[in-house]
């Protein structure tokens, strides 16, 4: 297959605006942008769309402001019906940007909700969102989250469990959003990646795992952590389904918790950060291991 192209998810440069991100990503050699809804200025979508198109960057994976059916620890409504509508509205808002994927999460059912009922609400909500995405010709990417770090955020923490829920939803445009950070140390990840690659989104989120991870928002750039990234990329390459890698970095500077890391990537020059990440990815890609 052809080498995957390199994109940057806007959370990677948390404090920059859309205009700054477009300029910086281009300067660092990226070919795509993963748009987060909170970075789109309200009431200016036509102008934002024109800027994105003028940049030449392809929109890869879009992240809604309300991205889960049950609440996660981001600002937003609590009621799952209201949240589902927010997700559907975001899909419609993103549609003119022609993304490859709109990402979603399950969220965790709150205390007092029976597990079966909590799951039913998620399945029905995501089925509704998938139908809206299908009307726009879009993929809805369902992302499992790391079971130890983000287990309290999601019902899903591995590939088989995500596939099982996708089958329950029953819509053909729902695919697994593969994130190296969340899946790298799950059981049988290489075998499952190869076997189930046809159920995955065309874009993959990449970063690396810091050996001394300090909180839930403390990721490393590709090649600067402890993941066996070449093995994961080799498995993804074997599926023939991966067309994009989308750099997604959380690096807390006090914005997400009371921990302000002096070496936060969010404090560093965004062009240098993206260029360093791209170089790290390319090195790992060149060293990828056939499964």
Q: What letters, b where the CB count within 10 A reaches 16 and e where it falls short, cover 186-223?
A: beebbebbbbbbebbbbbbbbbbbeeeeeebbbbbbbb
List the structure tokens of 161.
Answer: 């469990």
Q: What is the pLDDT of residue 153?
A: 87
Strands (E) across the chain are located at 5-9, 32-34, 58-59, 61-62, 101-104, 139-142, 174-179, 200-206, 208-209, 219-220, 244-247
pTM for the model stands at 0.95
For β-strands 219-220 and 208-209, DSSP reports them as antiparallel
Q: What is the pLDDT of residue 1?
A: 61
65: three-class secondary structure by DSSP: coil
- Find the distance separating the first CA and the last CA of the chain, reported in whole Å: 15
Domain ranges of the chain: 5-286
Q: What is the pLDDT of residue 99?
A: 98
Could you read off the pLDDT tens digit of each residue along the chain, which spans 291 residues?
Answer: 689 999 999 999 999 999 999 999 999 999 999 999 999 999 999 999 999 999 999 999 999 999 999 999 888 999 999 999 999 999 999 999 999 999 999 999 999 999 999 999 999 999 999 999 999 999 999 999 998 776 688 999 999 999 999 999 999 999 999 999 999 999 999 999 999 999 999 999 999 999 999 998 999 999 999 999 999 999 999 999 899 999 999 999 999 889 999 999 999 999 999 999 999 999 999 999 999
> CA-to-CA distance for 224 and 65, rounded, in angstroms?
29
Between 80-94 and 115-135, two packed helices, what is the crossing angle to 10 degrees?
20
Between the alpha carbon of residue 127 and those of residues 7, 65, 88, the distances in Å are 28, 19, 11
**Closest Cα to residue 225, out of 210, 237, 243?**
210
* CATH superfamily assigned to domain 5-286: Divalent-metal-dependent TIM barrel enzymes (3.20.20.150)
> CA-to-CA distance for 105 and 273, rounded, in angstroms?
27
Q: What is the pLDDT of residue 79?
A: 97
Tell me the HSE value of 210 on the side-chain side, using a 13 A CA sphere: 18
Q: With beta carbons less than 8 A apart as the criterion, state whether 244 and 7 touch.
A: yes
| Lookup result for tokens 């770090």 | 149
> CA-to-CA distance for 4 and 89, rounded, in angstroms?
30
| Lookup result for tokens 């970095």 | 249
Q: What is the pLDDT of residue 271?
A: 98
Q: What is the DSSP letter of 41?
A: P
**Closest Cα to residue 96, out of 70, 59, 61?**
59
């Amino acid at each position: 297959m052809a080498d995957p192209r390199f994109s940057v998810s806007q959370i990677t440069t948390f404090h920059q605006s859309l205009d700054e991100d477009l300029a910086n990503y281009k300067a660092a050699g990226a070919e795509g942008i993963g748009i987060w809804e909170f970075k789109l200025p309200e009431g200016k979508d036509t102008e934002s769309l024109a800027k994105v198109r003028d940049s030449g960057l392809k929109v890869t994976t879009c992240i809604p402001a309300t991205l889960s059916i049950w609440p996660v620890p981001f600002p937003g409504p609590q009621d799952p019906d209201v949240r589902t509508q927010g997700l559907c509205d975001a899909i419609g808002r993103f549609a003119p940007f022609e993304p490859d994927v709109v990402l979603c999460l399950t969220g965790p059912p709150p205390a007092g909700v029976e597990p079966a009922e909590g799951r039913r609400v998620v399945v029905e909500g995501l089925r509704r969102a998938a139908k809206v995405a299908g009307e726009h010709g879009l993929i809805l990417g369902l992302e499992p989250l790391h079971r130890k770090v983000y287990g309290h955020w999601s019902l899903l923490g591995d590939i088989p469990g995500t596939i099982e829920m996708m089958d329950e939803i029953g819509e053909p445009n729902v695919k697994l959003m593969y994130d190296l950070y969340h899946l790298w140390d799950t059981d049988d990840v290489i075998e499952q990646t190869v076997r189930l690659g046809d159920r995955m989104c065309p874009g993959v989120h990449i970063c690396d795992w810091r050996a001394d991870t300090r909180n839930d928002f403390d990721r490393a750039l590709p090649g600067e952590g402890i993941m066996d990234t070449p093995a994961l990329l080799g498995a993804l390459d074997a599926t023939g389904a991966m067309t994009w890698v989308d750099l997604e970095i959380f690096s807390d500077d006090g914005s997400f918790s009371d921990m302000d890391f002096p070496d936060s990537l969010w404090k560093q020059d965004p062009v240098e950060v993206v260029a360093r990440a791209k170089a790290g990815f390319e090195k790992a890609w060149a060293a990828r291991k056939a499964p």
